[in-house]
């Protein structure tokens, strides 16, 4: 992953990290994904579809899809072409449809039609990498995992919360450095902060609630 404008710095001290998460929690006590889902299976499908797509676009498509097929068996019954008809507004829908069909077959054949609560079983599913497995483990099963996407990668490096040149390095640093009490919800807070405040091209530093705690040296100046 390209660190872009991120500035690599030493991880910050424990007290600052705690204060950052206290502020994020105070602003949003129960953060969650912006993907709409009702079951672990719907979440898994939505996350597979969300690669290089917006949550809003995915939600529009899954609202149509889940109304007619919300289990692996039902999606297999639709078939790949039937599935594509529901998700063709989403980027890379052809390959995503293929992966979802293969994933549904494995879920039915090997997991009784259920999403496995197990990292290696999740990562063995087509279209499911470490990040998707982390989202499912965290959001569907309540595990304190850290799904490092482009937003978390940027926010962690910029602020100094956790530095790393790869998503895996940032994930491991965050797991080491985020205080335990905040670990389960940390990835949602950091994604939302990156999506809406600490944006890629021009972070909104003048209005950022973390500005006095953030170690980024190239903060956007006040207007």
Binding region for ligand SF4 (CB under 6 A): 158-159, 197-198, 203-205, 208, 210-211, 214, 216, 219
> What tokens does 26 get?
């105070």
The least CB distance from residue 204 to ligand SF4, in Å, is 5
- Other beta carbons within 10 angstroms of residue 162's beta carbon come to 26
Q: Please, which residue, 2 or 212, has the CB nearer to ligand SF4?
A: 212
Q: Please, which residue, 184 or 219, has the CB nearer to ligand SF4?
A: 219
With residues binned 3-state (H G I as helix, E B as strand, rest as coil), the percentages for the chain, rounded to 5, are 60, 0, 40
- The 3-class secondary structure across 199-223, one letter per residue, is CCCCCCHHHCCCCCCCCCCCCCCCC
Supply angle C-alpha 169, 172, 174, rounded to 5: 105
Burial class of residue 29, CB neighbours in 10 A (0-12, 13-18, 19+): exposed
The least CB distance from residue 150 to ligand SF4, in Å, is 14
Q: Please, which residue, 71 or 199, has the CB nearer to ligand SF4?
A: 199
Name residue, tokens 């019954």: 77
Q: Please, which residue, 124 or 211, has the CB nearer to ligand SF4?
A: 211
Does the annotation mark 131 as catalytic? Answer: yes
Q: Which among 96, 149, 215, 218 is annotated as catalytic? A: 149
Catalytic residues, by residue number, are: 131, 149
């Amino acid at each position: 992953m390209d660190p872009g404008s991120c500035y690599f710095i030493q991880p910050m001290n424990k007290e600052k990290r705690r204060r950052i998460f206290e502020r994020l929690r105070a602003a949003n006590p129960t953060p969650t994904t912006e993907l709409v889902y009702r079951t672990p299976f719907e979440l898994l499908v939505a996350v597979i579809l969300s690669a290089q797509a917006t949550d809003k676009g995915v939600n529009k498509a899954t609202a149509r899809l889940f109304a007619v097929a919300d289990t692996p068996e039902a999606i297999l019954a639709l078939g790949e072409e039937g599935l594509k008809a529901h998700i063709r507004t989403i980027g890379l829908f052809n390959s995503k449809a293929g992966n979802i069909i293969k994933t549904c077959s494995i879920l039915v054949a090997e997991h009784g039609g259920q999403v496995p609560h197990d990292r290696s079983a999740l990562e063995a599913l087509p279209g499911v990498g470490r990040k998707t497995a982390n989202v499912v483990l965290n959001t569907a099963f309540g595990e304190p995992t850290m799904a490092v996407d482009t937003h978390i990668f940027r926010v962690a490096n910029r602020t100094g919360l956790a530095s790393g040149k790869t998503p895996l390095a940032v994930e491991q640093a965050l797991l080491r450095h985020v205080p335990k009490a905040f670990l389960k919800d940390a990835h949602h807070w950091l994604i939302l902060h990156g999506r809406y405040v600490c944006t890629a091209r021009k972070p909104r530093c003048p209005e950022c609630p973390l500005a006095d705690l953030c170690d980024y040296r190239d903060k956007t100046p006040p207007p």
